[in-house]
Structure 1
Amino acid sequence: MKNLFLSAVVATATLVSCSTVSSILQNTFPYNATVLVTAGSPANVQLSNVSVAQSVNQLTGSGANVKDIRVSNATVSVDSNNSLGMFSSVKIYLSNGGSNETLVASRESIPDNVGSSLSLDVNSSQRFDQLMKAGNVQAKMVYVLKKSPTTDVSVKTSIGFNSVPMTN
């Protein structure tokens, strides 16, 4: 009888701790997408490129367990052979299949000597619950180049989200 009671206590503790760990892990999560700026893209013209990214369900496996999803930080980066100084401005939008586009982060007047990584100004007032739980989230980068690149440049967008665990 003691073994049965002890087993029940251990099983309950294990289930509760797994749920707690899952909630902690889901409170912050990254969201990455990569877009390609092709060689010869025109300068001083607004351009855009779309990349399919991941939804919360793909990232955590249980997106229904979080709510109040907001942007906490956003960066764009290129490999060390390039500089983000080639951009005049960058805006990142998220949408579900091309509709309901929402501005996530942006940066205007990017300096020439910025380097290969840049933090963006985030839209922290917007909630992204429904958008991030949708099955097909797309990241769209809208940008203006200062000069036309001579080679293709792969730009990685990384967005950090905060969320609150749902309690039943």
Structure 2
Amino acid sequence: MKNIFLSAIVATATLASCSTVSSILQNTFPYNATVLVTSGSPADTTLSAVSAAQSVTQLTGAGANVKDIRVSNATISVGSSSSIGLFKSVKVYLSNNGADEVLVASRENIPDNVGSSVQLDVNTSQTLDRIMKSGSVQQRMVYVLKQSPTSDMSVKTSVGFSSVPITN
């Protein structure tokens, strides 16, 4: 009887810890996308670049188990030989393959000497459940350059999301 009771306690603790770990993994997840800003791109002009994204199902493997997906943080970075200071402004949008586009992060008046990465201001006011669970998420980066780049620049956006587990 003692062994059955002890086994039940161990099994319960194991299941609870697995559920907790799964919940933590599903509550925060990253998304990275890369776009190319080509050399000779005009300055002082609004430009945009599109990058295919991943849905929450592709990111966590369990998209049906989360809700209230919101942006928690966002950064933009370039290689160490370039500077984010080349940009005047950046806006990052996510959409369901071009439909239902939502501004998720932006930054205006980027300083010249900012370095190779900068934190973006995030839009936490909207939930992104429908977009992130659609299976056909796409990112569009809208930007204005201070000057034309002399070589192609690979620009990486990293967006972190938070969510709440569905506990039905």
Compute the displacement of 1:33 (Å).
Answer: 0.6
In the alignment, the residues of structure 1 paired with residue 61 and residue 15 of structure 2 have an alpha-carbon distance, to the nearest angstrom, of: 17
1:33 aligns with 2:33: yes
Q: Give the counterpart letter for 1:29 in structure 2.
A: F
- Partner of residue 45, structure 1: 45
1:114 matched to 2:143? The reply is no
TM-score by length of 2: 0.93
Residue pair 1:104, 1:122 contacting (<8 A) in 2 also = yes
**Deviation digits for residues 21-54 of structure 1 (CA, Å, limit 9, x no counterpart):** 1001111111111111011111111100000111
Task: Give distance in 2, aligned partners of 1:6 and 1:135.
Answer: 44
Alignment of 1:75-114 (within 5 A): 75-114=75-114
- Where structure 2 has 5 or more consecutive residues not aligned to the other structure, the ranges are none
Q: Decide whether the 8 Å contact of 1:23 with 1:65 is kept in 2.
A: no
The residue identity in structure 1 corresponding to 2:48 is S
Aligned to 1:24: 24
**1:167 is matched with which residue?**
167
Tell me the secondary structure at the aligned position of residue 14 of structure 1.
Answer: helix
Structure-1 separation of matches of 2:165 and 2:115? 37
Q: How many residues align?
A: 168
Separation in 1, partners of 2:85, 2:65: 40
In structure 1, the residue corresponding to 2:43 is in which secondary structure?
coil
**Which of 8-17 and 119-128 deviates more?**
8-17
SS of alignment partner, residue 35 of structure 1 = strand
Q: So what's the TM-score if we normalise by structure 1?
A: 0.93
Residue equivalent to 1:130: 130
Cα distance in 2 for residues equivalent to 1:158 and 1:111: 20
TM-superposition CA deviations, 1:62-101 (whole Å, max 9, x none): 0111111111111100011000111111000000111111
Return the alpha-carbon distance in structure 1 between the equivalents of residues 53 and 4 of structure 2.
Answer: 47
Structure 1 residue runs without a partner (length 5+): none
Q: CA deviation at 1:150?
A: 1.0
- RMSD over aligned Cα, in angstroms? 1.5
